[in-house]
Structure 1
Amino acid sequence: MVFAILVWAKLEQVANKNKKFEKWWRCVNIILCICSVFLIIRMTLLGRVSEQRVVELMPFHTFTTMSYNKEASRTLLMNVVLFLPLGLALPYIFKCAKNDRQRWMYCFVTGCCISISVEVLQYCWALGLAETDDVICNSLGCALGIMANVLGREFK
């Protein structure tokens, strides 16, 4: 993840200096954003069998189960990784923002809203456990992806 963030930050710097590369880079990121949303939908909603409707609203509940739940750390990490590409690509969607900070806030809020929507749909369609921890980890993944844009802009 760190490597992806650093590579994206460097490519952001190159895009800021070269207008032709910037247009190409924006197209690549728009495609990545679309693919990320489809991947999120595929991994979280499609292909799952409707079981029971369960919700876990206690934040960081999964952390308390790590001593006996061998899948807890993998699940948390996968939730972070799933939203990282979305965070990498979203800053190129919100080019109309007034400034970088506003763009980054739009990106983060969009990532959070997508995550909350997925959890609500999982609950409504009884497609697994709808957890607050998933939203926290998904938002963290999106924020880490956004950090690539922050680093690319701040360290020109």
Structure 2
Amino acid sequence: MDIYQTVISHYPHWSKIELIAVVIVMIISFIILERFYKKDKINKIQMFFCVLFIIYLLHVYGSTVFSRLPSKRICKLEVFWSWKEILNSMNMTYPKYELFLENILNVIMLLPLGIFLPLVYGKKIDWKVGLLIGFCISFSIELMQLVLCRGMFDVDDIIHNSLGFLIGIVIINKVLLMNKIS
């Protein structure tokens, strides 16, 4: 399956209500950002990365929660169940490469948000704070999937998403540190 087909199958068209909600969130965000900019609380670069952060966050919520069709309420509370399943399948004729890929993609999914956040604040962010923010975003996704019956509440997804957010924070903190030194 090529990337286009993957995107289309995992990201169907939004309903009118979802589009209206996204537009409202964006308008409110732009109004707040404009006021912060006029009061010199943020600069143009911070505003740019804040817009990227918001757009990407809306995309993540859209693709993981709102574009999915309601189904049963499913909950997977076992920690690292996916890795156990992957490792157990290595002896089989058909190992679970799809599950491995899904885990890697869950790490990558919040990585850009981790990169954008220090750029929004214009300074390094402590890794513990970054991990907490990544956990909260990921937990909110999983909780909304559970409450709205739009996917499986999965502890492994929370771990993978939080790790990706943290990796993004660490990467950009290193870049910001290197720029300060030189």
**With structure 1 as the length reference, what TM-score do the two structures score?**
0.74
Residue matched to 2:162: 139
Residue matched to 2:58: 38
Q: Shift in Å at residue 101 of structure 1?
A: 5.0
Residue matched to 2:67: 47
Number of residue equivalences: 131
Q: Which has the larger radius of gyration?
A: 2
Contact 1:94–1:106 (CA<8 Å) still a contact in 2? no
Distance 1:151 1:50, change over 3 A: same
Q: Shift in Å at residue 75 of structure 1?
A: 0.9
Say if 2:155 is the partner of 1:128: no
Q: Once the two structures are superposed, what CA deviation does each residue of 1:118-153 show, in whole Å capped at 9, x if it has no partner?
A: 101111111111111100010011011101222023
Distance 1:43 1:107, change over 3 A: same
Cα-Cα RMSD: 2.1
Which gives a bigger RCO, structure 1 or 2 (Cα 8 Å, sep 6+)?
A: 1
Equivalent AA in structure 2 for residue 139 of structure 1? S
Q: Once the two structures are superposed, what CA deviation does each residue of 1:74-130 show, in whole Å capped at 9, x if it has no partner?
A: 1111111110110011113345xxx8454x443332221010011011111111111
Equivalent AA in structure 2 for residue 132 of structure 1? V
Structure 1 residue aligned with 2:99, among 72, 75, 89?
72
- List runs of 5+ in structure 2 lacking aligned partners: 1-41, 90-94
Distance 1:101 1:114, change over 3 A: closer
- List runs of 5+ in structure 1 lacking aligned partners: 1-21
Structure 2 residue aligned with 1:27, among 47, 50, 53?
47
